[in-house]
Amino acid sequence: MTHYGESWYPPEPPPMPPHRYDLTGAQPIPRPGPPPGPRPGPQLGTEPTPRRPPTRRPPAPRRPPAPQRHPAELASLRSAYRTLRRVSTLTALGYFVLCVILSCYAKDLMSARVAGEVTFGMALGPFQLVLTYAAVRWYERTARRSVDPLAARIRKHRANGEVRA
User: pTM value?
Assistant: 0.48
Angle at 93 between CA 150 and CA 143, to 5 degrees: 15
Helix (H, G, I), strand (E, B) or coil at 26: coil
120 contacts 114 by C-beta, under 8 angstroms? yes
62 vs 49, more confident? 62
Residue-wise pLDDT tens digits, 57-114: 777 777 766 554 557 778 888 888 888 888 888 888 899 899 999 999 988 998 899 8
Q: What is the pLDDT of residue 70?
A: 58
| H or E stretch covering 81 | helix 72-105
